[in-house]
Amino acid sequence: MATTGVMRPGHIQLRVLDIGESVHFYKNVLGLVETGRDPQGRVYLKAWDERDHNSVVLREADSAGMDYIGFKVRDRATLEKLDADLRAYGVGTERIPAGELLETGERVRFSLPTGHVMELYADKTDVGNGQPYTNPDPWTPQAEQGIAPVRFDHCLLYGPDLEGNLKLLTEVLGFSLVERVLMEDGKSDLAIFVSCSHKAHDLAFVRHPEPGKLHHLSFLLQSWEQVLRAADLMSMNKVSIDIGPTRHGITRGTTIYAFDPSGNRFETFSGGYDFYPDHQPLTWTFEEVGTGIFYHDRKLNERFLSVVT
């Protein structure tokens, strides 16, 4: 099989400070589609072009941040195998029963060395993208409400043990290292970008003393013109923009970073190259990290390095 194992980031559970304000933001400004609410009060959303029932789950809490990120695997046999592989590798796993998240099958939950909670699952109900499976249109006017990304794409996470993450993700879960940023020592990694697919990154990590932090979750747009439209909609809606529109040197994507009403940073981006696992990784030296992150400004802003949730 050509695509096996871990397929893609399928859901993220986000902590938000005010569920009503957040739902308004994620639906009407970002343009996700609400697909359900559960008895715990969690609100389920998906990007219009995603077929599975949910990708962003909002949970009201006292502090912002990410509860966990879940990756969809190829099938249930893969789920069982990867659970066994994780345990064999020495990672403790926990089973979350099917249905704990709406329309989502059993999940295998574990912690990454950086302190982030990651999940694997094989089943989530296909609710379609609003178009029939026969003779579909490429999009519909309903797909243009708000910023309207096509999918939840990846996360950048901050935490201390990048070496542990890289080893676990590549040796057990089949990820590949795509790009890396070196520290001043020219050896250890300040940041790593890893892929379980043909995307230039499905996950990325930056070294940071505090574990388990979220730098940003990212949503895919279809063109640089859609990135401009997103920036315009952010200004119309008084969304706090961190930086952009600009381009990343790393992954080549064109991007905006901004903050949701709880202070969670999110990205709306477009483009970037396709990765294949026979590609040798790209390396960014410490001196060029600014250009790597923000190709036009060629320097980091302080917020990029310090503001996380």
One symbol per residue from 192 to 231: x for binding its own copies (CB under 8 A), - otherwise; what is it? ---xxxxx----------------------xxxx--x--x
Tell which residue, 130, 115, 155, has the closest CA to residue 264.
Answer: 155
Please pick, from the candidates 18, 100, 210, 232, the single residue that binds its own copies as defined by CB under 8 A: 232
Catalytic status, residue 11: no
Region of 90-98, 112-120, 203-211, 291-299 interacting with its own copies (CB under 8 A): 291-299
Among the listed residues 149, 155, 152, the one whose alpha carbon sits nearest the alpha carbon of residue 65: 155
Calpha distance 305→195 (Å, rounded): 22
Beta strands 6-16; 65-73: pairing state: antiparallel
Q: In 162-255, where does DSSP find H-type helix?
A: 162-171, 224-236
The Cα-based distances of 136 to 51, 130, 131, 140, 282 in angstroms read: 13, 9, 6, 10, 38
For residues 174 and 196, the answer to whether their CB atoms sit within 8 Å is yes
* Lookup: tokens for 102: 């709406």
User: Taking contact as CB under 8 A, which single stretch among the options 38-46, 62-70, 113-121, 134-142 is the one that binds its own copies?
Assistant: 134-142
Is 298 among the residues that bind its own copies (CB under 8 A)?
yes
The answer to whether 201 is a known catalytic residue is yes
Query: Is the CB of 160 or the CB of 245 nearer to its own copies?
Result: 245
Q: Tell me whether residue 154 is one of the annotated catalytic residues.
A: yes
CB of 213 to its own copies, least distance (A): 25
Judged by CB under 8 A, does residue 245 bind its own copies? Answer: yes
* 102 contacts 55 by C-beta, under 8 angstroms: no
Residues 89-118 touching its own copies, rule: CB under 8 A, are none
Rule CB under 8 A: is residue 136 a binding residue for its own copies? yes
**Residue 158 annotated in active site:** no
* DSSP H or E run through 199: none
Q: Is 295 an active-site residue?
A: no
In 3D space, the residue among 64, 38, 253, 285 whose CA is nearest the CA of residue 182 turns out to be 285
Give the active site residue among 11, 53, 116, 154: 154
How many Cβ atoms are within 10 Å of 84's Cβ, its own excluded?
12
Closest separation in Å from C-beta 63 to its own copies: 27
Among 81, 117, 288, 300, binds its own copies (CB under 8 A): 288
Residue 82 identity: L
From residue 41 to residue 80, the character string flagging contacts with its own copies as x (rule: CB under 8 A) and all else as - is: --------x-x--------------------x-x------
In the complex, least distance from residue 233 CB atom to its own copies, rounded to whole angstroms: 8
Interaction between residue 286 and its own copies (CB under 8 A): no
Catalytic residues: 154, 201, 216, 248, 257, 267
